[in-house]
Amino acid sequence: MNDEFDKKNAVIRFFHVTKRYGSKNALFDITLDICENDFVFISGPSGAGKSTLLKLLYLGEPVSEGEIIVDGMNLKRINHRAIPLLRRKFGIIFQDFKLIPSKSAYENISLVLEAQGIKRSLIKKKVRSLLRNVGIDDKEKCYPPSLSGGEQQRVALARAIAGNPKIILADEPTGSLDAESAAKIFDLLKECRQNGATVLIATHDTELIRKTGGKVILLDQGRLDVMTVIPKLE
Amino acid sequence: MRTFIEKGFFNFITIATISLSGLTVGAFLLFIVNADMVMASWTKDVRIMAYLEPDIDSQRIDQIRTQLQALEGIDLVVFISGDTALEQLKSEMKRHQSIFDNLKVNPLPDSFELHPVHVPEHFGRFERLARFVEQIPEVSEVEYGEKWLGRIANIIKLFKITVYAMSALFIGASVFFVANTIRLVLYSKRDEVEIMKLVGASDRYIKTPFYINSLLHGGIGGGVGLAALYILFRLLETSVLSGLPANLVSLSFLPPEIACSIFGGSVMVGWIGCFLSLKRFLK
Ligand SMILES: Nc1ncnc2c1ncn2[C@@H]1O[C@H](COP(=O)(O)OP(=O)(O)OP(=O)(O)O)[C@@H](O)[C@H]1O
Ligand SMILES: [Mg+2]
């Protein structure tokens, strides 16, 4: 195991975590730490359990066995009322985006800020600048069903980073994008990391990992296969 | 506010339900209020007359007077001697003085005129008072009001009980209906609610718009119901009653405190409906 997976400042700790759907193991006996300000790829073939691993973190699914600690909160003992607080630590780009179809791009993003009780005038500024950053400021009033896959993905990214989350979970964040747009999205995610966020990206796009470089957690059929650091391709 | 416009159909249904039950309950109460007022005006001058046996000495009469005055619910006790009664009768029938010319003895007995405290809703009280007075041995006969007044009072009392029961039923039914309508809306928005939860919205943040919506529905429903009731009331007043002499029956609309209660009740119906369905939905 590499030194870079240091146990110091671990913001996420998995301890013998198993997740079962029915009798089928989606994740089996995973123990790992993710440190503050890490930029980590979770990779592996389809069905390896990448999305499941992310879901466990924000309590999208309950753990079957083992324990997960996120930023000092033990997810097993978390109070029902504290779940929203846990989720606000995360900015999540879901694999299926999960945009609300009856709300415009603007409203989908502002929702997160409103839920956190941020002032309306501030929200407006913030959402506008986010839309500009992800390059869809002209689609502000559009509804998700009328946006292309790539555009929806960018709305999802903007929503994920809107609340300045401590941890960003990105599930195939570049799946619907061309190489150029994908690079732009990655620049944004790196910028978030520079601003102090921890970034977890689930992707099976090894090409992209090689191009970007970073820590990689490789899953295979629910088991932790390799944890390594891939240097940036020069 | 978006949700308010979006779900036009559900809004309409909810408001219609609340206003209908407001209208119905209001109409019941309106009837009661007016029935009470009519009864009050009809029973205002009811006197209980206690006719005495002949030849009772004045000492005993004073005793009886004290006894009657001590009765609860009696405002005033007036003694009317047979002579006074005859004088009164004579002055009332000035044109027929000849009738009285042939009278050798005064046929009219002494009597007490009891003025009950005026409590219109309790017509039955007269009966109890009258029966009590009857038990005094020197009292030969008791007369009060007209029997049919008592019967009407009983009918009104029965009607009131029915009305309260039916109002409770209507209110319960509309709460049930509103709760189920909100449940349908929630069901249609379950994906949206799920996403809001995933991005860290608290239950309170999710619930608030539903509460605002329901309180608004309740308020609008109550207002519409009362307005409809008022219009119906005015129509009834002008069309049906205009033919009758003005002083026979005069109707009045719900007093402000009852109208306010109906409005407040409608808002409550919205609130409770929302509370019940959200409780189930967000467990
Ligand atoms: N809700 C569920 N119910 C039952 N089985 C599930 C559920 N979600 C995932 N699984 C199963 O768990 C395993 C891991 O799924 P997961 O979505 O984590 O894979 P993944 O690595 O994200 O794959 P992909 O690259 O295709 O997104 C799969 O075999 C999948 O069929
Ligand atoms: Mg996945």
Cα B85 from chain centroid (whole Å): 38
Pocket mutation for ligand 1, best pick of A17, A21, A224 (most atoms within 8 Å of C-beta): A21
Could you list the residue range(s) of the whole structural domain that residue B111 is in? 47-144
Does B66 map to a domain? Answer: yes
Q: B186 to chain A nearest CA, in Å? A: 14
- Out of A98-102, A107-111, A214-218, B75-79, pick the least confident: B75-79
Chain A CB within 8 Å of residue B9 CB? no
- Mean pLDDT value of segment B50-62: 83
Q: Are A95 and A52 in contact (CB under 8 A)?
A: no
Cα–Cα distances (Å) from B248 to B4, B31, B44, B94, B235, in that order, read 48, 16, 14, 29, 18
Q: Are A46 and A73 in contact (CB under 8 A)?
A: no
How many Å apart are CA A137 and CA A130, to the nearest integer? 8
| pTM of the predicted model as reported, rounded to 2 decimal places | 0.75
Residues B38 and B175 in one domain: yes
Does B160 map to a domain? Answer: no
Supply the residue whose CA is at minimum distance from atom 1 of ligand 1.
A21
The per-residue pLDDT for B271 is: 95
The per-residue pLDDT for B143 is: 79
pLDDT category of residue A2 using cuts at 50, 70 and 90: very low
- Out of A14-28, A131-145, B112-126, pick the least confident: B112-126
Residues B70 and B123 in one domain: yes
Q: What's the A60 CA to ligand 1 centre distance in angstroms?
A: 13
Residues B89 and B178 in one domain: no
Cα–Cα distances (Å) from A226 to A42, A45, A52, B153, in that order, read 10, 13, 17, 91
Does B156 map to a domain? Answer: no
Q: Are A158 and A134 in contact (CB under 8 A)?
A: yes
Chain A CB within 8 Å of residue B205 CB? yes
- DSSP, collapsed to helix, strand or coil, labels residue A11 as strand
pLDDT at B19 over 50: yes
Residue A222 sits at φ, ψ, to 5 deg, of: 85, -5
pLDDT at B125 over 80: no
The per-residue pLDDT for B98 is: 73
pLDDT category of residue B114 using cuts at 50, 70 and 90: confident
Residue B34, classified by CB atoms within 10 Å of its CB into exposed (0-12), middle (13-18) or buried (19+), is middle
Top mean pLDDT of A114-123, A158-167, B80-89, B235-244 is at A158-167
Does B151 map to a domain? Answer: no
Q: What's the A85 CA to ligand 2 centre distance in angstroms?
A: 24
- Mean pLDDT value of segment A57-72: 94
User: Which residues make Cβ contacts (< 8 Å) with residue A71, sequence separation at least 6?
Assistant: A11, A12, A89, A166, A167
Does B180 map to a domain? Answer: yes
Domain count, chain B: 2
Q: Which residue has the higher pLDDT, B147 or A85?
A: A85
Chain A CB within 8 Å of residue B195 CB? yes
Does B152 map to a domain? Answer: no
Domain range summary for chain A, segments of one domain joined by +: 37-54+81-229
Superfamily (CATH H level) for A37-54+81-229: P-loop containing nucleotide triphosphate hydrolases (3.40.50.300)
Q: Write out pLDDT tens, residues A159-207.
A: 999 999 999 999 998 877 788 778 888 888 999 999 999 999 999 888 8
User: Which residues make Cβ contacts (< 8 Å) with residue A136, sequence separation at least 6?
Assistant: A105, A147, A151, A154, A155, A158
- In single-letter form, the type of residue at position A212 comes to T
Top mean pLDDT of A152-161, A175-184, B108-117 is at A152-161
Q: Which residue has the higher pLDDT, A45 or B281?
A: A45
Q: What's the A26 CA to ligand 1 centre distance in angstroms?
A: 7
pLDDT at B27 over 70: yes
Q: Are A167 and A93 in contact (CB under 8 A)?
A: no
Pairing relationship of beta strands A167-171 and A198-202 according to DSSP bridges = parallel
- Closest atom of ligand 1 to A22 CA is 4
Residue B200 to residue A60, Cβ atoms within 8 A: no
Q: What's the A168 CA to ligand 2 centre distance in angstroms?
A: 16
Is the torsion defined by CA of A67, A70, A71, A76 positive or negative? negative
Q: Write out pLDDT tens, residues B178-208.
A: 899 888 888 888 899 999 999 999 999 999 9
Nearest to B192 among A85, A92, A102 (CB): A102
Residue B174 sits at φ, ψ, to 5 deg, of: -75, -35
Q: What per-residue string of b and e applies to A25-51 under the rule 16 or more CB within 10 Å gives b?
A: bbbbebebbbbeebbbbbbbeeebbbb
Establish whether this prediction's ipTM goes over 0.90.
no
Residue A115 to residue B199, Cβ atoms within 8 A: yes
